[in-house]
Amino acid sequence: ARPCRCNPTAKPVPGSTPPIEKQARGTSSSDLATARFSEGRFGSFRGPSTPVADRRTSAIYDAQADAWIERRGPVAVEDGRLDRFAAALAPGARVADLGSGPAWYAAAFKARGFRTVAIDLSLAMLRRAPEHLARVRADLLELPLRAGSLDAAWAMNCYQHLPLGSLPLGLVHLHRALRIDAPLEMTLARMPDDVTPQEHRMGEAERRSTGATGNHPGRLFSHYSEERIRTLLEGAGFSDI
């Protein structure tokens, strides 16, 4: 998705539950998160009763973190996407790297003078991130961020791991954390080639990765058509998609 902007007049997706701000314990001062993590610190946050992302996928990333990192890199830095996104941000803007993995992008934003926090559900991935970064282990369906606390969000290939039906709630939480007119860069999985007639009609499909070990089989992927993801983003309150 291209950068979107928050629409303060939009309503949450019908049937979704507005997020409730909660305070995590044992953390130190920061202006980014309700969980209040400072740079150089690491912590985790989980509320008591919120739906969770796919735990099997998270466990695969935990078990295969080194292999995943070895085969990949910060492609969006290398191809210029991150710099194009960053060019629209004010100096010192507060940016969340969502589904950060080893925080390649959080580190890149920080190197460019922005205040960053890396958020991921995989503890193993966060432990491989630079120690000077603020790192938070949290679920995309329950972001521990204050309302309007982010100036921008960067979400590469992470919301695609939410089970079908959970993305609207995840987007509502994200919308709440962004200030008005904050840009969002998000990438999602396109529809697969083997869609059923019902999946084609709905514009969404769910699959688990298969094949060789290098593909890290068993990970959950939710795929969306362009029309469907636009509808979900607009329903969560985003515009200029």
Q: What is the pLDDT of residue 212?
A: 60
Q: What is the pLDDT of residue 63?
A: 83
Instruction: Output the CA angle 216-128-113, nearest 5 degrees.
Output: 120
Q: What is the pLDDT of residue 33?
A: 39
| pLDDT over 90 percentage in the chain | 24
Cα gap 134→39, rounded to integer Å:
4
Q: What is the pLDDT of residue 118?
A: 94
Q: For 53-59, which contacts have Cβ atoms below 8 Å and span 24 or more sequence positions? A: 53/121, 53/139, 53/140, 53/141, 53/161, 53/162, 53/163, 53/166, 54/161, 54/162, 54/163, 54/220, 56/218, 56/219, 56/220, 57/161, 57/218, 57/219, 57/220, 58/121, 58/122
Dig out the tokens for 25 from the structure. Answer: 């314990």
pLDDT values of the chain reduced to their tens digit, one per residue, 241 residues: 333 444 333 333 333 333 222 222 222 223 343 333 334 444 444 443 344 566 778 788 878 888 888 787 788 888 889 999 999 999 999 999 999 989 999 999 999 999 999 999 888 889 988 888 999 998 888 888 889 999 999 999 889 889 888 888 899 999 999 998 899 999 888 888 888 999 898 888 888 877 764 578 788 888 989 989 899 999 888 988 7
Q: What is the pLDDT of residue 176?
A: 92
Q: What is the pLDDT of residue 22?
A: 27
Q: What is the pLDDT of residue 208?
A: 84
Residue 84 has phi, psi (to 5 degrees) of -65, -40
Whether the full predicted model's pTM is greater than 0.95, yes or no, is no
